[in-house]
């Protein structure tokens, strides 16, 4: 009996040594590696907004999956989200294509933007911190004027996006922000057509300079009035050139 107990004790001692000497598995080793693939939804949203994918463009799942290096399931999921946002339509036996806005929808977007952005402009004028507009005031001066004179409308559009994002940030209204987010993907396509209309960029620059002055002065009434005026005049120009831009 004594001999048997001794053998067992030696066996367990060896097991304890092996256990102590074994390297513990790292936390990373226990978890399967998760490589983040491309943000398919964001990529497609940007392509639609910038007209890389123009209205009416076909969206073929196989081609997109191969190009972006993701599964067709990921592409279908993204297309479903884009459909919910009104950027894509899917037709039985024809697949998905980029939505083409009609005139009624274009002017509805202007109406929604006028009201919601005017609300945000008023709040941003009151809420912005001291110096919160300084970099934009400087850029909307001579630098942006030179870009427009050189015909660099992309620089102008990007500047407008920066100003709009700053305004919404300072407005601090999550409901308005979410509602505008649904509109802006479609609005970007319209903006690209408006900015090239005769004299619009130069006129728009002057109005946005005045808007920035109202923000710096913390004048909510003037900021709201100017924001409405900017959108209303853009709407009027689209109506004037409707047969060419819609």
Give the Cα separation of 50 and 192 in Å (integer): 8
Q: Considering its fold, how many domains does the chain have in total? A: 2
Do 138 and 230 have their domain in common?
yes
Q: What is the pLDDT of residues 78-131, one digit of tens each?
A: 999 999 999 999 988 788 999 999 999 999 999 999 999 999 999 999 999 999
**CA proximity to 207, closest of 223, 187, 228, 226:** 226
Confidence band, pLDDT 50/70/90 cuts, at residue 241? very high
Distance CA 221, CA 224 (A): 5
Q: Do 115 and 213 fall into the same domain?
A: yes
Q: What count of other Cβ atoms lies within 10 Å of the Cβ of residue 150?
A: 9
User: What pLDDT is recorded for position 189?
Assistant: 83
For residues 15-19, give the mean pLDDT: 41
CB neighbours of 78 closer than 8 A, spacing ≥ 6? 40, 41, 44
The pLDDT tens digits for 187-198 are 888 888 899 999
CATH of the domain at 92: 1.10.10.10
Judgement on whether residues 66 and 187 belong to the same structural domain of the protein: no
Q: Does residue 55 belong to any structural domain of this protein?
A: yes
Q: What is the 3-state secondary structure (H, E, C) of the chain?
A: CHHHHHHHHHHHHHHHHHHHHCCCCCHHHHCCCCCCCCCHHHHHHHHHHCCCCCCCCEECHHHHHHHHCCCHHHHHHHHHHHHHCCCEEEECCCEEEECCCCHHHHHHHHHHHHHHHHHHHHHHHHHCCCCCCHHHHHHCCHHHHHHHHCCCHHHHHHHHHHHHHHHHHHHCCHHHHHHHHHHHHHHHHHHHHHCCCCCHHHHHHHHHHHHHHHHHCCCHHHHHHHHHHHHHHHHHHHHHCHHHHC
* In contact, 152 and 178? CB cutoff 8 Å: no
> In the chain, what is the greatest distance between 2 CA atoms, to the nearest angstrom?
106
Determine the average pLDDT of the residues in 26-48.
64
Average pLDDT over residues 214-220: 98
Task: Classify residue 165: in a domain, yes or no.
Answer: yes
pLDDT of the residue at 156: 97
List pLDDT tens digits, range 136-157. Answer: 999 999 999 999 999 999 999 9
Do 93 and 176 have their domain in common? no
pLDDT value at position 38?
A: 61
Q: Which domain holds residue 51?
A: 40-98
CB-count burial class (<10 Å; 0-12, 13-18, 19+) for 121 = buried
Indicate whether 86 and 109 sit together in one domain. Answer: no
CATH of the domain at 202: 1.20.120.530
**Per-residue pLDDT for 227 more than 50?**
yes
Radius of gyration of the chain (CA): 28
pLDDT bin (cut points 50, 70, 90) of residue 6 is: very low
Note whether 64 and 173 are same-domain residues: no
Among 45-49, 100-104, 178-182, 201-205, the range of highest mean pLDDT:
201-205
For 197, the token pair is 């209309």
Q: Is residue 4 part of a domain?
A: no
Residues 122 and 208 occupy one common structural domain:
yes
Task: Mark whether 129 and 218 lie in a shared domain.
Answer: yes
Question: 177 lies in a domain?
Answer: yes
Whether residue 33 lies inside any domain: the answer is: no
User: Does residue 114 belong to any structural domain of this protein?
Assistant: yes
One domain, residues 111 and 57: no
Q: Are residues 123 and 218 in the same domain?
A: yes
Q: What is the pTM of this model?
A: 0.78
For residues 44 and 148, state if they share a domain. no
CA dist list (Å): 109 to 53, 66, 116, 206, 211: 20, 34, 11, 23, 21
Name the strands in the sheet holding 95-98, side by side, starting at the edge strand that comes first in the sequence: 58-59, 95-98, 88-91
């Amino acid at each position: 009996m004594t001999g048997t107990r001794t053998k067992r004790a030696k066996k367990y001692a060896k097991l304890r040594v092996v256990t102590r000497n074994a390297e513990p598995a790292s936390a990373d080793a226990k978890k399967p590696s998760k490589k983040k693939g491309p943000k398919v939804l964001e990529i497609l949203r940007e392509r639609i907004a910038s007209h890389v994918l123009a209205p009416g463009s076909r969206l073929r799942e196989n081609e997109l999956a191969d190009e972006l290096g993701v599964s067709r399931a990921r592409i279908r999921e993204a297309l479903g989200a884009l459909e919910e946002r009104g950027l894509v339509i899917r037709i039985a036996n024809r697949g998905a294509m980029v939505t083409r806005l009609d005139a009624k929808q274009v002017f509805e977007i202007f109406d929604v933007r006028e009201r919601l952005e005017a609300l945000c402009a008023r709040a941003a004028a009151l809420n912005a911190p001291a110096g919160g507009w300084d970099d934009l005031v400087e850029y909307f001066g001579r630098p942006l004027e030179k870009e427009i004179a050189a015909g660099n409308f992309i620089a102008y559009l990007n500047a407008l996006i920066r100003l709009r994002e700053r305004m919404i940030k300072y407005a601090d209204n999550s409901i308005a922000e979410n509602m505008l987010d649904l509109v802006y993907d479609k609005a970007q396509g319209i903006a690209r057509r408006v900015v090239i209309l005769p004299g619009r960029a130069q006129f728009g620059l002057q109005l946005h300079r005045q808007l920035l002055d109202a923000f710096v002065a913390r004048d909510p009434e003037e900021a709201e009035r100017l924001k409405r005026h900017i959108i209303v005049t853009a709407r009027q120009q689209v109506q004037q050139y409707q047969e060419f831009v819609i």
